[in-house]
Amino acid sequence: MKNITVAGKALTLIFVAVFLVACSSNDTKEADEAAAVAASAASAASAVAAAQAAEQAASAAQAAVITRLEDAAATVGNVFYFEYDSSTLTPSAQASVDAHIALLNTNEQTIRLEGHTDERGTRDYNMALGERRANAVRDYMVASGVAGYRAESVSYGEEQPVAYGSGESNWSQNRRVELK
Amino acid sequence: MKCLVWRESKFAMRTVLGLGLLLAALGARAELVIEITQGVDNPAAIAIVPFAWHGAGAAPEDIAGVVDSDLSRSGQFAPVGRSDMLGLPSTEKEVFYRDWRAIASEYLLIGRVSVTDQMRIEFDLFDVLRQKKIYSGVELGPVNEARMLAHRVSDKIYQQLTGIRGAFATRLLYVAVTRVPGGKDYFRLTLADSDGARPIVLLESREPVLAPAWSPNGQEIAYVSFETNRPAIFRQNLRTGAREQLTNFRGLNSSPSWSPDGRTMAMVLSKDGSPDIYLMDLATKKLTRVTRHYAIDTEPSWMPDGKSLLFTSDRGGKPQIYRYTLASGQTERLTYEGSYNARARVAQDGRNVVMVHQKNGKFHIALLDLVTDRVQVLTSTELDESPSIAPNGSMLLYATKYAGRGILAAVSVDGGVKFRLPARDGDVREPAWSPYMSRPAATKQVDNHLKD
């Protein structure tokens, strides 16, 4: 609707221009030439306007799709959780990553995948385990069409817990990959 | 972003300054508190008489008090209380053995402290039962290193009475963390005396700092810092404060471990795919890849002869300790008991290996004897990690959790002596016990790296 209005305004402007050119001239021939130029300009302008309109309609539709994908990604969140001593994506983590892949496939954004573990086990081994988790998410994204160079894995091991206490209720919150 | 960094740096700077003031106010007061939980069954009774002070004003340090707490902490001695002493001799002439037999003291230590341009500590050790002097010694050094001189007295006494070189005149590195729930924690790489006294913050960061390691001469340290937003290995000279970033590879940059000759650093990098062990020639920065396996290979630790490395690998499915021999390129698995053995550290004897060992789902520190292959669990707490063995091989420090907080704890290699070193507040972790130091060295405190 908005695009049609824009095209209409362009045509109006061209008619006004023809009218002004015609009125300012005393020579009929000149006026005719001016009218011809104006007519051809008008026809070109209407083609451009139509193309613009189509493009704008398409981009509006795409924007709506992206908004929907962004909403979907925001709903699942940017944290993916893992089982103890495992770097295998759980079905629920995979579904969450899928939402982000759908969005990433619409843009060229680069991302960071930060891998984390719970406090059990040694710090340096956990540093390696955190990387394995981040890489598991990255590999799955790459397999789903996201270019590998766009995703960087950084492991924080057990150094940045979300929940400080011990016990599974805390540990399960800390075994994660955060997409940033 | 720049603004954010700047603001963070101002905040961090304030904290460093605040700590400095705090330290000045507390003098030698430690961040760590020592709580002895278990000693040997029949510790030797020793009377450590306050050392006579020959100088102006008050004595700068209670030397005898430092020796007293060192020997107590070893678990092998039971110092006599000062209020039980029937006299306070400071010279051999003033010693009456009957006074010490009367309070069942087996040994007696007396001393004299004076200061000219340096501090001079003279001390004499007596065997009360045999009624004879068994050792006399002198320690000389700067007045501001009085505590370190006192630890050197402890080392001499310990060696005389046990036959084992003392390791009191050594230092500790550890990471202290202040939790910021919902925000970024504060990490402080800290250097302190072996009794936790005189803590100095070497590096403070809002990003993780971990894996501190000593150079074999005790003059440099290495660690991993995330200050660049990625893990990187740094080395730092304790005397000059000079700092160098050694690695900046994509992926893991972890577990720095200095070779016994000081020329090579073993480390873990994942730049070529999975985590593998690499050796960096510290002069040329040239890297040599040591392990090539799709599994996790990490936590390298040198054998004292520098000819082989121990490391952790899950190539068998679960983390276990392996040994890589440099000359042959051969790798052999060393641990079979239990499903989780990791982060080995070897004593100077090349025989005792301390490691993290999982038993019944709990993580303990265990001792692996490389000659008998026997594994002995040394600790009964859970979530124990980061064992670090004293240069004399007698005790090891490790990190554990106590009352919900990260604390340091110590245990003797025979499991008989135990003490805890909780922090006054916050969490402490990753102790690294220094090698023997040739002489007390002044340490330059490094400004916060975020300053620029």
Q: Residue B12: its pLDDT value, please?
A: 39
Beta-carbon neighbour count of residue B414 at 10 Å? 12
A148 CA: distance to closest CA in chain B (Å):
13
* Angle (deg, nearest 10), helices A123-143 and A91-104: 60
B159 CA: distance to closest CA in chain A (Å):
34
Count interface pairs A-B at CB distance under 8 A. Answer: 79
Enumerate the residues of chain B whose CB falls inside 8 A of the CB of residue A165: 404
Query: Does B298 sit within 8 Å of A127, measured CB to CB?
Result: yes
Residues of A with CB under 8 A from a CB of B: 119-125, 127-129, 131-132, 152-157, 159-160, 164-166
Enumerate the residues of chain A whose CB falls inside 8 A of the CB of residue B335: none
Q: Residue A166: its pLDDT value, please?
A: 85
Report the predicted TM-score, pTM, of the whole model to 2 decimal places: 0.84
Q: Residue B30: its pLDDT value, please?
A: 73
- B150: nearest Cα among B178, B182, B122: B122
Query: Does A123 sit within 8 Å of B211, measured CB to CB?
Result: yes
Q: Decide: A138 and A151 in contact? Cβ < 8 Å.
A: yes
Token pair listed for B42: 């029949």
**Substitution target from A125, A164, A168 for chain B, most B beta carbons within 10 A:** A125
CATH topology of domain A77-179: 60s Ribosomal Protein L30; Chain: A; (3.30.1330)
Strands of B130-263, DSSP E: 132-141, 171-178, 186-193, 200-205, 209-214, 220-225, 232-237, 243-245, 253-258
Q: How far apart are CA B233 and CA B267, in angstroms?
A: 9
Query: Does B210 sit within 8 Å of A159, measured CB to CB?
Result: yes
CATH class of B171-433: mainly beta
Which residue intervals of chain B bear CATH 2.120.10.30? 171-433
Token pair listed for B49: 């008489």
Residues of B with CB under 8 A from a CB of A: 179, 181, 184-185, 208, 210-211, 226, 229-231, 250-252, 254-255, 268, 270, 275, 296, 298-299, 312, 314, 319, 340, 342-343, 356, 363, 383, 385-386, 401, 404, 430
Query: Does A160 sit within 8 Å of B185, measured CB to CB?
Result: yes
Q: How far apart are CA A139 and CA A79, in angstroms?
A: 16
Beta-carbon neighbour count of residue A27 at 10 Å? 9
Query: Does B251 sit within 8 Å of A129, measured CB to CB?
Result: no
Whole-number percent of chain B with pLDDT over 70: 90
The dihedral built from the CA positions of residue B281, B287, B289 and B295, taken in this order, carries a sign that is positive
Token pair listed for B262: 């000081």
- Inform me whether the pLDDT recorded for A7 exceeds 60: no
Query: Does A120 sit within 8 Å of B252, measured CB to CB?
Result: no
- Inform me whether the pLDDT recorded for B23 exceeds 50: no
CATH class of B43-162: alpha beta
Which residue intervals of chain B bear CATH 3.40.50.10070? 43-162
- Inform me whether the pLDDT recorded for B129 exceeds 60: yes
Please name the residue of chain B whose CA is at the shortest distance from the CA of residue A120: B383
Backbone angles phi, psi at B130, to 5 degrees: -90, -5
Higher pLDDT, B274 or A50: B274
The domains of chain A are located at: 2-61, 77-179
Whole-number percent of chain B with pLDDT over 90: 80
Enumerate the residues of chain A whose CB falls inside 8 A of the CB of residue B430: 123
**Residues A134-151, mean pLDDT to the nearest whole number:** 96
- Inform me whether the pLDDT recorded for B327 exceeds 90: yes
Instruction: Fill in the amino acid letter for B442.
Output: A
pLDDT tier at B35, thresholds 50, 70, 90: confident
B275: nearest CB among A120, A131, A160? A131
A123: nearest CB among B230, B296, B385? B385
pLDDT tier at B450, thresholds 50, 70, 90: very low
Q: How far apart are CA B246 and CA B235, in angstroms?
A: 7
Quick: pLDDT tens for B161-208: 999 999 999 999 999 999 988 888 999 999 999 999 999 999 999 999
